[in-house]
């Protein structure tokens, strides 16, 4: 029989998921401003897979940095969650915009 996860475990998983969601939203925002049609994958899919992997690594770095500051029973409050989400979103926007500007400048 499966037991439901405890509140602290659920909160912990939510805290780890926040950077991944914020990174994804930041990447979609940059994509919408740059070229909305580019959000639909077309063959070859290797660039899409590389992009998803790179965004996952970026979200993982944020989550690992967040996890490193926790003690065993410590939990984040609501304001800290919003700060983490906003920071991950803004960093992703900055990195995405920088990539687009550099690629246009180097063409």
pTM (2 d.p.)? 0.66
Question: pLDDT tens-digit profile of 41-83?
Answer: 778 877 777 777 887 888 877 777 766 555 545 566 778 778 8
Residue 95 pLDDT greater than 80, yes or no: yes
Return the HEC string of the chain.
Answer: CCCCCCHHHHHHHHHHHHHHHHHHHHHHHHHHHHCHHHHCCCCCCHHHHHHHHHHHHHHHHHHHHHHHCCCCCCCCCHHHHHHHHHHHHHHHHHHHHHHHHHHHHHC
The more confident residue out of 65 and 37 is: 37
């Amino acid at each position: 029989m499966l037991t439901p996860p405890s509140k602290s475990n659920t909160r912990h998983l939510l805290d780890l998921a926040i950077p991944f969601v914020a990174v994804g939203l930041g990447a979609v925002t940059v994509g919408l401003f740059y070229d909305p049609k580019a959000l639909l994958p077309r063959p070859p899919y290797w660039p899409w897979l590389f992009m998803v992997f790179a965004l996952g690594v970026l979200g993982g770095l944020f989550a690992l940095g967040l996890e490193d500051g926790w003690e065993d029973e410590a939990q984040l409050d609501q304001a800290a969650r919003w700060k983490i989400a906003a920071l991950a979103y803004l960093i992703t926007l900055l990195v995405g915009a920088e990539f687009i500007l550099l690629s246009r400048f180097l063409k």
